[in-house]
Amino acid sequence: MKQINFSDYPIPVEVSAHHVHLSREHVEALFGKDARLTPVKELSQPGQFAADEKVTLVGPKGKVERVRVLGPERKETQVEISKTEQYTLGIQPPIRDSGNVAGTPGIMLEGPAGSVELDHGVIAALRHIHMTPDDAKNLGLKNYDVVQVRISGDRELIYGDVLIRVNESYRLVMHIDTDEGNAANAGPATIAYIVKIQEGADEL
86-145 per-position pLDDT tens digit = 999 999 999 999 999 999 999 999 999 999 999 999 999 999 999 999 999 999 999 999
What's 75's DSSP letter? S
Give the amino acid at 129.
I
Beta bridge partners of 78: 21
pLDDT for 200 equals 60
**Whether 42 contacts 36, CB under 8 Å:** no
Indicate the pairing of strand 114-118 with strand 107-111: antiparallel
pLDDT for 1 equals 52
- Whether residue 147 is predicted with pLDDT greater than 70 in this model: the reply is yes
For the chain, the domains span 7-14+127-198, 17-124
Q: What is the pLDDT of residues 130-143, one digit of tens each?
A: 999 999 999 999 99
pTM: 0.92
**Whether 31 contacts 25, CB under 8 Å:** no
Number of Cβ atoms within 10 Å of the Cβ of 61: 11
CATH architecture of 7-14+127-198: Beta Barrel (2.40)
Band of pLDDT at residue 202, cut at 50, 70 and 90: low
